[in-house]
Amino acid sequence: MNIDSTRSAEQHSVTIWEINRDRLTAMQHKLSDTPKLLSVAAGKSTCSIFKVPQTLIDVNGKSYEPHIISVGPFHHGQPHLKMIEEHKWRFLRQLLNRTSVKGTVLEDYLKAVQPLEITARECYSGTVPYSTDEFIEMMVLDGCFVIELLRKFGGLVEFEDYDPLIRMSWIVSFFLRDLIRLENQIPYFILECLFELTKTEASPTLATLALNFFNLATQRPDHVLEKYAHVEAKHLLDLLRSTFLPHELEKPIKPDNRPPPHVIHSISKLRRAGIKLKTWEAESFLVVDFKRGVIHMPTISIDDFMSAFLLNTVAFEQCHSGCSKHFTTYVTLVDCLINTSKDVSYLCDSNIIENYFGTDAEVATLFNNMGKDISFDIDDCYMARLFDDVNRHYHTGWHVQVASLKYTYFNTPWSFVSALAAFVLLLLTVAQTFYTILSYVRPP
C-alpha cells in the first residue's frame, strides 16, 4: 500500500513538474516583453502625447477622437479620415514646388526629421507600431500639412482657387477642434524643424501662426497673443494651453495655519449665504478671485471648440507627469458651482458664461461630466486659498442667516411685496390684540 502510494505521488509530481516547465517557459518569454499600450517612457516628463484614459472616454464619449484629420500615429489610417489624407499630399506638393526654387527637396525633409525619430517616438505614451521609414514619412507628411494649413490661414500662402478645404466652412471648424485633441498631436520640435526648413525671412514665428489660427475660435485681442510669439511647447494643444495660464498664480498658494480646504457648494447655496458672483476683466478665464463675499470670474464662451479644448486639456493635465493642474482646478470650480440648469442660467445672467453650446441643461451636463473621474490635489492647486476663503465665509454665523433671509424674502419684487404684506398684517394683528387687552383692563 505504501509502495503504490509512493509511485502515485512520484507520477503526480512528474506531471506537475511538466506543467510548471511549460508555464515557466511562457513566463520567461513575457519577462523579455516591454509594455506596449502604456510604455515605460510614459511616466517621463518628455512624454507628452497620450491615449486618453478609458474612464474619461466612458464619460465624455468621442470628444478625444479626430473627426476629419489624423495627426500622428494614434489614429493614422482610420477609414473615416482618408478624405483629408489625400489632401495632405496635395499640400506637400505645393510646398515642394515653392521650396524647390532654393534647392530644398523632399529628401531634405526626410533627412532633417530622421535624427529626431527616437526622441519623437518617446513622446508617445504607447509603442508606435511603424517602421523607421513609415514613421518619418508620417512625421513629414503630417507636419508639413499642419504648417501649410497655418500659413494659408495666416495669409502667407494663397489657397488654390475653389480649394474645398476653405470653401466648405464646416471643414475649418473641424480642423480647429481636431488639431487640439490630445491623441492627435505630433511633437512641437518636429513642427519647428520642418518650419525652419521651409520658412522665409519675413515669416512670423510658428507659435504666432498657430495662435492666430486658433484665434478664429478663441477671439482674443492681438496684444494678448503677441506676448507668446516665442513660447515653447510640447505640441499644439500645449501651446494653446500655455497662453491661458495665469502667470501671477502659477505657484500654488497654500493657506497657512488653517485646516485643509474643501470643495465649495453650488452657486445657489452660496447665494443664500450672501456670496455673490461678478465678472471682471482678465487676459485668461483662469484668473479667479474672492474678496469681501464676491467671487470674481472672467467671462468664458462655451461652444463646441471650447468644450473640446477644456476636455482635452484636462486629459493632458491628468496624464502628463510634470504638468500643472490649472485647467483641472478651474473645471472643478465650475463643476462645484453648477449643479442644475438654474445654476447655469444664473452664471449666464451674471455674464460669467456665454452659452453658444446648447441649452443650460446641456452646459450643466458638460461641466458635471468634465469633473468626473479626474484627480487633483486641492491643497496644492492654485485656487486653494479661494476654496478655503469661500468655505469659511459660507459657514460664518450671523451674516449667513441675514443673507438667507434676504434671499428668501427680498430676492424678487413679488417676494418683497409678500413679505411686506405679511409684516403689515402682523402689525395689524398685534395692534388689534393690544387694543383688545386694553379694553379688557380699562373698560370705557
- Interval 190-225: pLDDT, tens: 999 999 999 988 889 999 999 999 999 999 999 999
**What predicted TM-score, i.e. pTM, was given to this entire model?**
0.84
Give dist(CA 438, CA 258) in Å, integer: 58
Measured torsion, CA atoms of residues 104, 106, 109, 112, in degrees rounded to the nearest 10 = -90
- For residue 391, tell me if it sits in a domain: yes
Give dist(CA 139, CA 131) in Å, integer: 12
Tell me the pLDDT band of 172, cut-offs 50, 70 and 90.
very high
Do 226 and 89 share a structural domain?
A: yes
Sign of CA dihedral 143, 138, 312, 81: positive
Do 5 and 70 share a structural domain?
A: no
User: How close are the terminal C-alpha atoms of the chain, in Å?
Assistant: 125
Do 135 and 65 share a structural domain?
A: yes
Could you tell me which of 39, 237, 52 has the C-alpha nearest to residue 123? 39
Do 102 and 22 share a structural domain?
A: no
Q: Half-sphere exposure of residue 91, counting CA atoms within 13 Å on the CB side?
A: 24
- Interval 138-158: pLDDT, tens: 999 999 999 999 999 999 988
Do 208 and 143 share a structural domain?
A: yes
- Interval 10-27: pLDDT, tens: 555 555 445 567 777 788
In this structure, what C-alpha cell is assigned to residue 109?
Answer: 525633409
Measured torsion, CA atoms of residues 424, 428, 431, 432, in degrees rounded to the nearest 10 = -170
Do 86 and 21 share a structural domain?
A: no
Tell me the pLDDT band of 416, cut-offs 50, 70 and 90.
low
What is the domain range of residue 442? 412-444
Do 294 and 422 share a structural domain?
A: no
Do 418 and 292 share a structural domain?
A: no
Query: Does the structure show a pLDDT above 70 at 259?
Result: no
- For residue 124, tell me if it sits in a domain: yes
- For residue 45, tell me if it sits in a domain: no
- For residue 49, tell me if it sits in a domain: no
Domain count, the chain: 4
Calculate mean pLDDT across residues 291-299: 94
Do 117 and 22 share a structural domain?
A: no
Q: Is 156 exposed, middle or buried (0-12, 13-18, 19+ CB in 10 A)?
A: middle
- For residue 88, tell me if it sits in a domain: yes
Do 311 and 289 share a structural domain?
A: yes
Do 11 and 152 share a structural domain?
A: no
- Interval 308-334: pLDDT, tens: 999 999 999 999 988 899 999 999 999
- For residue 226, tell me if it sits in a domain: yes
Report for 162-171, 193-202, 429-438: range of highest mean pLDDT: 193-202
Calculate mean pLDDT across residues 181-189: 97
- For residue 135, tell me if it sits in a domain: yes
Do 197 and 62 share a structural domain?
A: yes
- For residue 42, tell me if it sits in a domain: no
